[in-house]
Amino acid sequence: MSEISTAQRRDLRAKAHHLDPVVSIAGNGLTASVLKEIDGALKAHELIKVRVYGDDREARAAYLVEICAQLGCAAVQNIGKLLVIYRPNPELHAPKPDLAAKRPSRGKTAKAAPFDKRPGRPTTSNAPRKSMAGAPEARYRKPTAGSSRTRKSAR
């Protein structure tokens, strides 16, 4: 079982506050399949919550001690029927290789011309303007006093 400092425990409790339980321990107790699921969840998330069904406090505390001993994790918190467990995973914090830096250069690449400079495209200065001649008048009419836009609700 790995030990964590009080400051680190406080930080982990704050992070675990918003987490949902990912593994449940029910009537069969702490079986090998449950330990395997907890191990997989710790590899994926580092910090997890485990829900223990049952009313026996001593059994929940024994589950926490056994989990930490078998999986090499640290007990962050035991509150009610929830166990909060932490095990650091160095693979999650490893820097990812920069693939762009390793790629060989393919020579000078041509830049695309701006949108209005491409051949066959109108520029902003000679673009045809849309006429307003055929627009319906209702679209440009101001709302009248009885219309729904100016009417105030009587509340």
Does 126 have pLDDT greater than 60?
Answer: no
What's the mean pLDDT in 123-151?
Answer: 58
Q: How far apart are CA 52 and CA 80, in angstroms?
A: 9
Q: How far apart are CA 42 and CA 86, in angstroms?
A: 7
**pLDDT tens digits along 52-85:** 998 899 999 999 999 999 999 999 999 999 999 9
Q: Which residue has the tokens 């006429």?
A: 131
Are 46 and 86 within 8 A, CB to CB? Answer: yes
Tokens of 92: 């999650």
The chain-wide mean pLDDT, for the chain, equals 79
SS3 call for 23:
strand
* pTM score: 0.60
Q: Are strands 74-79 and 82-86 parallel, antiparallel or unpaired?
A: antiparallel
For the chain, what percent of residues have pLDDT higher than 90? Answer: 52
Which residues, 6 or more positions from 34, have their beta carbon under 8 angstroms from its beta carbon?
Answer: 23, 25, 28
State whether the Cα torsion 52-13-15-67 is positive or negative: negative
Does 17 have pLDDT greater than 90?
Answer: yes
| Domain regions of the chain by residue span | 6-90
CATH number of 6-90: 3.30.110.60
- Angle of helix 32-45 relative to helix 57-71, nearest 10 degrees, comes to 60
